[in-house]
């Protein structure tokens, strides 16, 4: 049984955990389910990075907070992602933001994105979090000669305007380093990766230690507006809350709550992890130390070398949830790997899974709050495939917006407006299918 946010009415606690490499290498402690009615100042719905980070910020401020999640810890993206720590979110580059809103807004947005990475590293230090955080080069690879020029011009612009250092490589340099096919140039920047499920587990540990009440296997079934707040119905108890923070992101069920309905498009991304590569393969391919990669395709492939010598390889998933783990999808992704690295043909695929990323209509995430001092409701979502660092920052910002703290520049595009509503939302999947067909031909 697969969860499909555009079809399912709820995330059921009985849905199985995904078969990920992360679940196989870390046992996390899922907090208990709610078993009675309760009352709180702040209720967070969704216990991934966004929700747990919001809980940490509220609890650090001494506020009373309850967090509920419909399934086990790491059921959503928090247990399914690739673990790349990226500076940025959504699908707009700093240059695209600059073009749309001007340089000073782009710089302020850069500060938010870099702030997300700093928040992660400072929490790792401050709370002694054990998340296998590993620094290593991050290569952006061009899949056509034209993209190589665009990529290198963009890197130069980022270096000059945004002070992001990078090193450019031509086709021959890259091919010599990695024995990789169909790459026409690249750019290397500083990168880092981590174990995503350990990150969720550590955030939960911190939130609990700060006296936040966490309940998992506890779906919010309905939200009713009351005179002084909200009543949220769960299978084993009602929660009365003054303010609600929605942190269910791409896993938000169909018609869950007006404020987030049709505001994002859940799109599947899939990942497989190979058996450990032999020494011979590692030296033949150059995939011999922790490093990460992303290409320039519209339907990007991303991959990283894990500390035990396996390759994690990801890309777009199936259109419909029910096809997420099909053999066809596994083969498509595997063929993409061997097209780039022919030497890896025959390497065993040991894990495969899919997850939902939240795509906003204008490619930009939002952290938005509505209401007055008596009852506020807010959400943070729409990060596309970039949320390992940003989701926690967004959760912190959402909590700060609730508290009116944090000196947030509310004129920034991240905060100023709600997520735009998808028009013709029932046709989203059809359009995505068309896009994938086009990309299959255009981005061979
Ligand atoms: C395959 C894949 C690879 C990715 N790789 C990367 C990467 O390498 N780097 C990167 O930066 N980002 C990556 N991402 C994106 C990143 O993982 C997400 O942006 C981020 O984890 C989102 O965190 P979140 O807390 O907002 O959502 P989630 O972690 O998805 O949490 C949402 C939670 O809400 C709960 N929920 C839903 N409805 C209800 C309800 N009614 N009641 C209670 N709870 C509910 C769900 O059970 C779920 O646990 C990837 C995503 C996927 C799917």
β-strand partners of 237: 234
pLDDT average, residue stretch 165-189:
93
Beta bridge partners of 185: 170
pLDDT digits (tens, 9 = 90+) for 178-226: 989 999 999 999 999 999 999 999 999 999 999 999 999 999 999 999 9
**Minimal-distance CA residue to ligand 1 atom 19:** 387
φ/ψ (deg, to 5) at 358: -100, 115
pLDDT tens digits, 83-94: 999 999 999 999
Q: Is the pLDDT of residue 242 over 90?
A: yes
Q: Classify residue 258 by its DSSP letter.
A: G
Ligand 1 pocket mutation pick from 48, 368, 383 by most atoms within 8 angstroms of CB: 48
Cα separation, 196 vs 191, whole angstroms: 15
Q: Answer whether 49 contacts ligand 1 (Cβ < 6 A).
A: yes
> In which residue are the tokens 């259109």 written?
319
pLDDT digits (tens, 9 = 90+) for 4-53: 998 888 888 989 999 999 999 999 989 999 999 999 999 999 999 999 99
Distance from residue 173's CA to the centre of ligand 1 (Å): 36
- Which comes out higher in pLDDT, residue 175 or 410? 410
- Stretch 322-341: mean pLDDT, rounded? 93
First and final CA of the chain: distance in angstroms? 32
Confidence band (pLDDT; 50, 70, 90) for 444? Answer: low
pLDDT at residue number 66: 98
- What is the pTM (predicted TM-score) of this model? 0.97
Determine the 3-state secondary structure of 57 from DSSP. Answer: helix
The predicted pLDDT at position 229 comes to 94
pLDDT of residue 425: 74
Ligand 1 atom with the shortest distance to the CA of 75:
49
Answer yes or no: is the C-beta of 48 below 6 A from any ligand 1 atom: yes
Name residue, tokens 């034209």.
Answer: 146
Q: Which residue's C-alpha comes closest to atom 44 of ligand 1?
A: 69
CA 275 to centroid of ligand 1, rounded, Å: 26
295 closest CA partner among 186, 385, 194: 186
State whether the beta carbon of 89 lies less than 6 angstroms from ligand 1: no
Instruction: Please report, rounded to a whole number, the percentage of residues in the chain having pLDDT higher than 70.
Output: 100
Question: At 317, is the pLDDT very low, low, confident or very high (cuts 50, 70, 90)?
Answer: confident
Q: Is the CB of 292 under 6 A from ligand 1?
A: no
CA dist., res. 432 & res. 438, Å (int): 10
Q: Which atom of ligand 1 is nearest to the CA of 317?
A: 1
Q: Name the residue at shortest CA distance from atom 53 of ligand 1.
A: 355
Q: Does the pLDDT value for residue 418 go beyond 80?
A: yes
pLDDT score for 126: 97
Alpha-carbon distances of 297 from 301, 316, 421, 432, rounded to whole Å = 7, 11, 26, 15
Q: Which residues contact 221 (CB under 8 A, 6 or more apart)?
A: 10, 232, 233, 234, 235
Picking from 405, 422, 416, 420, the residue whose alpha carbon sits closest to that of residue 369 is 416
User: Is the CB–ligand 1 distance for residue 396 below 6 Å?
Assistant: no
For helices 196-209 and 49-60, the axis angle rounded to 10 degrees is: 30
| CA-closest candidate to residue 270, choices 439, 82, 144 | 82
Query: What is the number of the ligand 1 atom nearest to the C-alpha of 78?
Result: 29
> Separation of 56 CA from ligand 1 center, angstroms?
17
Contact between 206 and 126 under an 8 Å Cβ cutoff? The reply is no
Nearest to 46 by CA among 255, 251, 229, 197: 251
Q: Please work out whether the CB of residue 385 comes within 6 Å of at least one atom of ligand 1.
A: yes
- Whole-angstrom distance, CA of residue 79 vs CA of residue 329: 20
Give pLDDT, residue 321: 86
Beta carbon of 82 within 6 Å of any ligand 1 atom? yes
* Residue 249 CB less than 6 A away from ligand 1: yes
Q: Which residues pair with 223 in a beta bridge?
A: 232
Tokens 């046992």, residue located: 27
Q: What gap in Å lies between CA 231 and CA 23, rounded to an integer?
A: 34
Environment class of residue 323 by beta-carbon count within 10 Å: exposed (0-12), middle (13-18) or buried (19+)?
Answer: middle
| Residue 316 backbone dihedrals phi, psi, to 5 degrees | -65, 150
Closest ligand 1 atom to 52 CA: 25
Strand 311-316 and strand 264-274: pairing? antiparallel
- Give distance in angstroms: CA of 356 to centre of ligand 1: 7
Domains in the chain, start-ordered, CATH in brackets?
A: 21-81+197-263+362-432 (3.50.50.60), 136-193+276-347 (3.30.9.10)
Specify the DSSP class assigned to residue 78. Answer: G
| Burial annotation 187-219 (CB, 10 A radius, 16+ → b, else e) | bbbebbbbbbbbbbbbbbbbbbebebbbbbbbb
- The pLDDT, as a whole number, for residue 227 is 87
**Residue 441 alpha carbon to ligand 1 centre in Å:** 30
Query: What pLDDT shows up at residue 44?
Result: 98
3-state secondary structure of 17: coil
Q: Which two tokens stand for residue 354?
A: 């899919």
pLDDT of residue 414: 98
Expressed in angstroms and rounded, the spacing between residue 278 Cα and the centre of ligand 1 is 33
Q: What is the mean pLDDT of residues 296-315?
A: 94
pLDDT per residue as tens digits for the range 119-157: 999 999 999 999 999 999 999 999 999 999 999 999 999
For 358-393, the pLDDT digits (tens) are 999 999 999 999 999 889 999 999 999 899 999 999
Distance CA 84, CA 121 (A): 13
* Most ligand 1 atoms within 8 A of CB, residue of 120, 387, 392 to mutate: 387
Q: What is the β-pairing status of strands 229-234 and 237-246?
A: antiparallel
pLDDT of 424: 75
């Amino acid at each position: 049984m697969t969860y499909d946010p555009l079809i399912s009415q709820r995330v059921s606690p009985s849905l199985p955990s995904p078969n990920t490499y992360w679940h196989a290498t870390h046992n996390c402690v899922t907090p208990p389910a709610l078993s009675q009615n309760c009352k709180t100042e702040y209720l967070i719905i969704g216990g991934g990075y966004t929700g747990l980070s919001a809980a940490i910020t509220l609890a650090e401020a001494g506020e009373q907070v309850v967090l509920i999640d419909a399934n086990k810890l790491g059921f959503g993206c928090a247990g399914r992602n690739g673990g790349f720590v990226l500076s940025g979110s959504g699908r707009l580059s700093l240059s695209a933001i600059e073009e749309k809103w001007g340089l000073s807004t782009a710089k302020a947005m850069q500060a938010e994105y870099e702030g997300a990475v700093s928040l992660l590293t400072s929490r790792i230090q401050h709370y002694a979090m054990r998340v296998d955080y590993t620094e290593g080069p991050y290569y952006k690879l061009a899949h056509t000669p034209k993209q190589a020029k665009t990529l290198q011009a963009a890197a130069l612009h980022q270096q000059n305007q945004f002070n992001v250092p990078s090193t450019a490589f031509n086709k021959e340099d890259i091919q010599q380093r990695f024995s990789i096919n169909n790459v026409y140039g690249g750019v290397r920047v500083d990168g880092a990766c981590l174990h995503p499920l350990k990150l969720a587990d550590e955030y939960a540990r911190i939130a609990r230690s700060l006296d936040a009440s966490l309940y998992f296997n506890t779906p919010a079934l309905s939200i009713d507006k009351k005179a002084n707040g909200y009543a949220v119905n769960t299978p084993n108890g009602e929660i009365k809350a003054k303010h609600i923070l929605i942190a269910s992101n791409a896993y938000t069920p169909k018609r869950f709550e007006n404020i987030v309905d049709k505001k994002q498009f859940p799109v599947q991304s899939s990942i497989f992890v190979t058996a450990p590569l032999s020494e011979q393969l590692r030296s033949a391919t150059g995939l011999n130390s922790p490093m990460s990669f992303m290409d320039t395709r519209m339907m990007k492939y991303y991959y990283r070398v894990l500390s035990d010598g396996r390759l994690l390889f990801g890309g777009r998933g199936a259109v419909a949830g029910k096809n997420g783990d099909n053999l066809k999808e596994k083969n498509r992704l595997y063929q993409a790997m061997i097209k780039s690295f022919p030497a890896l043909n025959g390497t065993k695929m040991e894990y495969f899974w899919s997850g939902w990323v939240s795509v906003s209509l204008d490619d930009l995430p939002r952290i938005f709050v509505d209401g007055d001092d008596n009852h506020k409701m807010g959400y943070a979502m729409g990060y596309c495939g970039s949320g390992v660092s940003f989701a926690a920052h967004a959760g912190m910002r959402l909590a700060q917006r609730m508290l009116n703290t944090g000196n947030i520049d509310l004129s920034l595009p991240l905060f100023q407006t709600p997520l735009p509503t998808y028009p013709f939302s029932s046709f989203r999947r059809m359009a995505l299918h068309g896009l994938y067909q086009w990309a299959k031909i255009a981005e061979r």
